[in-house]
Amino acid sequence: MNWKNKVILVTGGTGSFGKKFIEIMLQEYTPAKLIVFSRDEQKQHEMRQMGFTHENLRYFIGDVRDYDRLRRAFEGVDYVIHAAALKQVPACEYNPMEAVKTNILGSSNVIDAALDAKVDRVVALSTDKAVNPINLYGATKLAAEKLFVQSNAYAGGRKTRFSCVRYGNVVGSRGSVVPLFIQQRKTGVVTVTDERMTRFWISLEQGVRFVIRCLEEMHGGEVFVPKIPSMTVADLAKAMAPEAKINYIGIRPGEKLHEVLISEDEARTVIELDDMYVVQPAESLWFGREWEAIGKHITDEFRYVSNTNENWLTVEQIQEIIKPFEGASK
C-alpha cells in the first residue's frame, strides 16, 4: 500500500495510541496528511510542545458525539482510525449515559460521517472487555463492535469498509496498572486484587503496528485479534516491586479474573493465521470471508482466554518490557 498520497484521521488522537500512531506514521510512512481529531485543546497543545509539529500534521478540535463536526473533519480523508472512547471502568459505571453517548452514539456518528464522506477504510479499536462483558465499558465496546461490523451492509455500492481490532491491556497506557505500581512501591506495599488474576499484554508499538497492518489487509466486517502473551498480575507486581509487600484486596466490581479475547460462540467463524485470529462476520456479507483461503478454521470449542494461553511472560521478561516506563518515572 502506498501511504504517501493518503489522508489519515485519528479520533482520540491525543491519547496514548494516537500519539504513538502519529509518531510511527510520520517517521516511517509519511502520508500526505495526518489529522488529530480530539475534544481537548490542552492535550493538542501539549502534543505540539512534545514536538508533534510536522508540516503534514493537522489538529482538529471536535467531539465524536457531534456528527456535523465529524462530517466536516472527514472531508477528503482516506482512512480513519477510531480510537476515541471513555475507557475508565469506574467512570463509565458512575456516568453510564456519558459512556453510551461517546462509545456507542459516537461510534455511530463516525460510521455515518465515514459513509457520507466516502472514506475508504475505517478501523475501530476495541478491547477484550467487549467479549462476554460484565461492566458497562465492555458492553458499550461490544455495541460499538457490532455497529462497525454490521454497518458494512449499509455501504451498498460505496467503497467504504469497516473493521475492528481487538486486543488486551497496553503496557503503560493511560489506565494501565504500571504507573500505579510505580507509585505504590515507594510505600513498600503494592495492591493486587487477586493472586490468580491473569491478563493479556501488548506493547503500545505492537498495538499500533498491528492496527496499521489490519488497515492495509482488511476487506470489511472482520474483527482482528493478535496472538499476544499472558501474565499474572502478581508476577507484574513482583517484577516491578520485588522488595515490596503485596496486599491482595479482592476483585473490584466489573472486573474479571481472566480476560477473553475470543469466545467459544465466535469460534465458528474464526480463521487462525500464524500471528493472529480473524473473526469473520457472522452474517453473510458479500465480503470479509476472504481469510478462509489463507488461514485455517479452529474448533468450535476454542476460547482465547488469558489463563489458558500458550504464551506466558516470565518475571524477567516483564522486567525487560517495563524498563522504558521505569526510566520515565524518575
Helices (H) and strands (E) in the chain, counts: 12, 17
> Which cell goes with 53?
509539529
- Of the residues 129, 141, 238, 256, only one is catalytic, namely 129
* C-alpha–C-alpha distance, residues 165 and 145, integer Å: 9
β-pairing verdict for 121-127 and 198-202: unpaired
C-alpha cell at 223: 474483527
User: Is residue 129 annotated as a catalytic residue, yes or no?
Assistant: yes
C-alpha 61/C-alpha 228 separation (Å) is 34
DSSP string across 168-227:
-EETT-TT-HHHHHHHHGGGTEEEES-TT-EEEEE-HHHHHHHHHHHHHH--SS-EEEE-
d(CA 77, CA 123): 13
Closest by CA to 149, choosing from 254, 287, 264, is 287
Q: Active-site positions?
A: 129
